[in-house]
Chains A and B, each alone.
Chain A
Amino acid sequence: MIKNTKQNYLNHPRGIMSWLLTVDHKRIGLMYLVSGILFFFMGGLLALVMRFELAAPGNDIISNEIYNNAYTLHGAIMIFLFIIPAIPGALGNILLPLMVGAKDVAFPRLNLASFYIYSFGALFALYTIVNGGVDTGWTFYTPYSTQSSSNVVPMTLGIFIIGFSSILTGLNFIATVHKMRIPGLTWYKLPLFVWALYGTSLVQITATPVLAITMVLLMLERFLGIGIFDPALGGDPVLYQHFFWFYSHPAVYIMILPAFGIISEIIPVHSRKKIWGYKFIAYSTLSIAFIGFLVWGHHMFTSGQSVFSQIVFSFITYFVGIPTGVKIFSWILTMYKGQVSFTPPMLYALAFLFLFTIGGLTGIFLGAVALDIHLHDTYFVVAHFHYVMQGGTIVAFLGGLHHWWPKSFGVMYNQTIANIAALGVFIGFNGTFFPQFLLGLRGMPRRYATYDEQFVELHSYSTFWSGILGISIFIAVMNLFWSFMKKNKVDPGSNPWGGMTLEWTHTSSPPHPHNFEEEPVLQHGPYDYDKVIVQKTYKK
Chain B
Amino acid sequence: MSEHHITPLRTYLIIAASLLFLSGVTVWVSYIDLGSFNIVLAMFVATVKASLVAFFFMHLLWDDKKNLTMFLMSLMFFGIFVTITMLDTEFRGDLGLNPEVKDPINKRAAFYDTLPLTDTHGHPVDEHSDEHHEDKDHH
Contact call A236/B77, Cβ cutoff below 8 A: no
Bound Cα distance A234, B95 (Å): 24
Which chain A positions have C-beta within 8 A of B66? 178
Interface status of B87 (Cβ within 8 A of chain A): yes
Q: How far is the CB of B64 from chain A (nearest CB, A)?
A: 10
Interface residues of B (CB under 8 A from A): 66, 73-74, 77, 80-81, 84-85, 87-95, 101, 104-111
Q: How far is the CB of A294 from chain B (nearest CB, A)?
A: 6
Contact call B88/A297, Cβ cutoff below 8 A: yes
Which chain B positions have C-beta within 8 A of A178? 66
Contact call B77/A234, Cβ cutoff below 8 A: no
Contact call B81/A309, Cβ cutoff below 8 A: no
Assuming A232-B110, A246-B81, is B92 touching A305 (CB within 8 A)?
yes
Q: How far is the CB of B78 from chain A (nearest CB, A)?
A: 10
Q: How far is the CB of B44 from chain A (nearest CB, A)?
A: 26
Bound Cα distance A351, B112 (Å): 59
13 A-B residue pairs with CB within 8 Å? A234-B106, A236-B104, A293-B80, A294-B80, A296-B84, A297-B88, A306-B87, A306-B90, A306-B91, A306-B92, A306-B94, A309-B84, A309-B88
Contact call A242/B105, Cβ cutoff below 8 A: no
Contact call B110/A242, Cβ cutoff below 8 A: no
Interface of A is mostly: helix
Closest B residue by C-beta to A250: B77
Bound Cα distance A312, B88 (Å): 10
Assuming A206-B73, A293-B80, A304-B92, is B87 touching A234 (CB within 8 A)?
no
Residues of A196-215 whose CB lies within 8 A of B: 206, 210
Contact call B77/A242, Cβ cutoff below 8 A: no
Number of A residues contacting the other chain (C-beta, 8 Å)? 25
Which chain A positions have C-beta within 8 A of B108? 234
Contact call A307/B84, Cβ cutoff below 8 A: no
Q: How far is the CB of B89 from chain A (nearest CB, A)?
A: 7
Q: How far is the CB of B107 from chain A (nearest CB, A)?
A: 7
Contact call A232/B88, Cβ cutoff below 8 A: no
Closest B residue by C-beta to A293: B80
Contact call A309/B87, Cβ cutoff below 8 A: yes
Q: How far is the CB of B97 from chain A (nearest CB, A)?
A: 8
Contact call A232/B109, Cβ cutoff below 8 A: yes
Assuming A231-B105, A232-B110, A234-B107, is B77 touching A308 (CB within 8 A)?
no
Interface status of A323 (Cβ within 8 A of chain B): no
Residues of A297-318 whose CB lies within 8 A of B: 297, 304-309, 312
Contact call A308/B105, Cβ cutoff below 8 A: no
Closest B residue by C-beta to A234: B109
Which chain A positions have C-beta within 8 A of B91? 306-309
Max chain B CB contacts within 10 Å: which of A296, A304, A306? Answer: A306
Interface status of A238 (Cβ within 8 A of chain B): yes
Contact call B89/A307, Cβ cutoff below 8 A: no
Which chain A positions have C-beta within 8 A of B92? 304-306
Q: A242-B85, A293-B77 are in contact. List 18 more A-B contacts (CB 8 A).
A: A206-B74, A227-B109, A234-B108, A234-B109, A236-B89, A236-B105, A239-B89, A242-B88, A293-B80, A305-B92, A306-B88, A306-B91, A306-B93, A308-B88, A308-B91, A308-B94, A309-B84, A312-B87
Contact with B along A211-252 (1 / 0, CB 8 A): 000000000000000010001111110110010001000000
Bound Cα distance A235, B77 (Å): 24
Max chain B CB contacts within 10 Å: which of A235, A238, A305, A309? Answer: A309
Closest A residue by C-beta to B86: A309
Bound Cα distance A189, B16 (Å): 46
Bound Cα distance A306, B97 (Å): 11
Which chain A positions have C-beta within 8 A of B111? 233
Bound Cα distance A232, B109 (Å): 6
